Amino acid sequence: MIAEAVERQTAAMRELSRRAFPEPDAAADDAPASIEATWAQRRRQAAATEAAALHQVRQERPAPGR
């Protein structure tokens, strides 16, 4: 009797979990990117961050001769 109640409770919890966190549909668009593509994207992001930081420093620095 207790084992049956535990089984029912476990099944109910699994169903609630499935509803709360459904499995995403595996679409072709969601295919993982290659490691090379990921590295290239990170290099571009780093270069953009560096360029923005240099631009900010140049704007904050007083002009020569002042």
pLDDT one-digit tens code per residue, 47-60: 999 999 999 999 98
Q: Which two tokens stand for residue 17?
A: 């979990």
- Of the candidates 33, 13, 11, 30, the one whose C-alpha atom is nearest the C-alpha of residue 21 is 13
Query: Residue 61 above 90 pLDDT?
Result: no
Tell me the HSE value of 15 on the side-chain side, using a 13 A CA sphere: 6
Query: Which DSSP state fits 61?
Result: S
Q: Any idea where the domains of the chain sit in the sequence? A: 34-60
Confidence band, pLDDT 50/70/90 cuts, at residue 64: confident
* pLDDT score recorded for residue 27: 47
pTM above 0.85, yes or no: no
pLDDT one-digit tens code per residue, 21-45: 887 665 445 567 789 988 999 999 9
CB-based contacts of 30, cutoff 8 Å, min separation 6: 24
